[in-house]
Amino acid sequence: MADLINFPAKPRSRHARRTYQVHRLAPSGGVVATCIITARDDGDATRQAQELIAGHRAELWASNRLVAVLGTFDFPIATTIRVLADQPTTEG
């Protein structure tokens, strides 16, 4: 039966553009500003986002997919990492 139905496939135009969101982040990690951009692909969106953030930290999203984390931190997230000792549990 599937052979009898022919669904026309529409390839994406080479001029088709996708919508991306650029979220500029505060040092605390909160969103300071959001900008919507359109781009041909992830690489084009990343280039556009780099121009918009002016050295600040930002995230580039395509719908619910994280595309890139841009910019640098002014301070480290963690200064040290240490392994916690095993703690006895109260369950018994």
Helix/strand/coil for 81: coil
Q: What is the pLDDT of residues 5-31, one digit of tens each?
A: 666 666 666 677 899 999 998 888 789
Helix/strand/coil for 43: helix
Judged on CB neighbours under 10 Å (0-12, 13-18, 19+), 90 is exposed
CA angle 26-32-37, nearest 5°?
120
| Type of residue at 84 | L
User: For residue 18, what are its two tokens?
Assistant: 């996708």
DSSP conformational letter for 63:
T
Share of the chain above pLDDT 90, in %: 41
Measured CA to CA, the distance from residue 57 to residue 24 in angstroms comes to 6
Residue 59: the pLDDT is 93
pTM of the model: 0.64
Domain ranges of the chain: 18-70
Q: What is the pLDDT of residues 64-80, one digit of tens each?
A: 899 999 987 665 555 55
